[in-house]
Structure 1
Amino acid sequence: MMQTIYIFVFLFSLVFSSKGFKDLQQENEVFMSASESLEMKLVNARLEKINKPFVKSIESPDGDIIDCVLFNLQPALDLPKLKGAILSMDPPELPKGYDNTRAESEIKQIWNSNGESCPNGTIPIRRTSASEILKSISISEFVKRARTKDIPPSNGHEHAIGYVIPGKVYGAKALLNVWAPNVVGNDFSNSQIWVFSDVPNYGVNTVEAGWHVIPSIYKNNAPRLFIYWTPDGYKSGCYNLLCPGFIQISRRVSLGAAFGPVSKYNGQQYESVFMIWKDPRSGNWWLKVGNELIGYWPQTLFTCLRDHATTIEFGGEVYSGNSGKHTSTQMGSGHFPGEGFGKAAFARSLEVVNEDNSLSRVSNLNLLTDKSSCYDVKKGYSDTWGNYIYFGGPGNNPNCP
């Protein structure tokens, strides 16, 4: 089947329309006439690497532009060491215990809510604007995030998480409900799973996935699907497809695009399943969201993650660069975990992937919060949900000045 896809991609590229490419050139160069500064030249050079020629462009109801880019033109394949690897790619082996007969929750995004889709042989990439890159530069410190378990909180990062340290682990799975927390200024708020390895002399390697809200870049408080990876303790690495690394295969899901609908306080709850695991055949780290196989991080991107992970974490994170009083940026639903179902954010059915590529419920789940009066976390267990956590909070309040 994969061989058929690549033949199709090759034939598709022969009839690729030049109109889309010309439109994209104009989009990428829109700021050139306004400024010839070094900064703007760097921004436009970056845009040319991120925004690829496309065969179809979709305007999302929320204003995003989704470009359908030929599979073999995606950013990851700009890396010479990855160009050959994709040709021998095989479908991953799902972990044992994964119930393939049970329909997982379908991931729903606003851009395809009207039935739009990308053609076979392409992947949907959210178009990046020059203004977004400029804003990212102005808050670039948010990428260089602190170590998750730094206490007291370092560099403006606060967490409310459950974590396990099993020694050797090969992936994680959880269901996260999706909210639209209020985020102020240059802050961000997210809900995610972390799979990372911290081995002496190698530094921290991570692969991460979940949803985040960053209105200073995206212009609204909509929660958006994101992935992140770093091979060196957050000194480098990046979100989504903003630099070469992650190889996407899905034509139905766009990284960086908004979820829709989202959970309502004391109302309908919407959740998605996130699973990251190391395929025992290829050694690559794969991502599945809902019932959709999104793609993978090649093992060659990493050092210690080439073998295994050492820690799994589930929960929320808020970043704020503000000094003085505590930020009012919300985590999760903006409500404390004690309010429970329908009111607080959760991560449920927490599982890890073992060395034999089998799923098992987490054991010895630990909790960590940097400031429980601002954001808190609580754990529980039920026959239906297995191990779970509720987490989040409002940030600034009378007990969190």
Structure 2
Amino acid sequence: MFKIPKQAYTAEFKAGAVQRVKDGHGVSAVARELGVSEQTLRNWIKAAEAGKLGGAGAKVVTPEQMELSRLRAENKRLQMELEIGKKSGGVLREGPPVKFAWIESQRRHYPLSALCEVLSVSLNGYRAWKRGGTLQRRRLSDGQLLALIRTIHAEVKGAYGSPRMTAEIRSRGFPASKDRVERLMRDNGIRARHKRRYRVTTDSKHKLPVAENLLARNFTPTAPNQVFTSDITYIWTDEGWLYLAVVLDLFNREVVGWSIKPRMTTDIVTDALTMAWFRRRPGLDAMHHSDRGSQYASHDFQRKLSEYGMRCSMSRKGNCWDNAPTESFFNSLKNERVHATRYRTHQEAAADLFEYIEVFYNRSRRHSSLGFVSPAQFLQDWLKAQQIKDAAA
């Protein structure tokens, strides 16, 4: 029976989680977003305050740090309520059905009681709506549906066109045709972010050995951890360029490894691969596919692949389609987030990239090639199906 290994979190992942708390998100909300326990996240926060997030040894907590922890605990509820209020936007002015649908979509991020309290609806009313089935949930006028569309549009920061928007609305319990959603979006100027052409970043003009294309555009492995694909892109900030390397599990298109650095050196791709390996622990003979960039062809990276028992595959020279899924991810990242954002610092960009990858893309964003479910949901559905199959065997 296939099992996803217990998560092993890297220092970069922990730092990203801690930064979200520092940026004003509640500990409970961040823990739910990332699928970690609150205590684990609090331990990371304490380690970061002591300067020992990635190291071992005793953690010294100063009186000032203890006072900060106390203040955070006191303000936890207030932060959460402010965050819920900000996210709910126009839903606050709508009727109970729209509020209940929004609450249903946010339950994994916040306590149900807090959601009901901030939106001024009763817990019993929400439970009655849940029991009411589709008949009770059909009663959305064009105005109510438009309010829901606007709320979702704000939640996903303009990432969804009408197909993904329709899938999201249906997942919240409301039947909605694509034509109706498309009409309301068009008539009210609501559209997905404008797409720009993606440009290749890596340098393949080198004399290092390259591997043959073992993947051969077979982008549909039958199980997780069989094929990883990788690439590098760049992000402009007021402090200069920042580079992002990612590793995708091709099975569910999840970003299982990533690294963010101010220089495009070999360690950016080895660090991303290390994160992917620790999170997924692929078996021997798993494949890693990339372009022919010097970072991937380097002796250090090839040594790391050998250490993990992974086969190396590389795209043909000048053929971007050989690594299309990874380039598709970068297109989504750039069009849905980066092109519309000005980053003043490297830290600001890194925090936003963490949120896009770990909170939005992996766990929430509806992926067209996965039947409009998120990578995390696709994997969970597959695991459940495997359990049922194994039980029946």
The TM-score by the shorter chain falls in which range? Answer: under 0.3
The higher radius of gyration belongs to: 2
Which structure shows the higher helix fraction? 2
Query: When the two structures are superposed, what TM-score results if normalisation uses the length of structure 2?
Result: 0.24
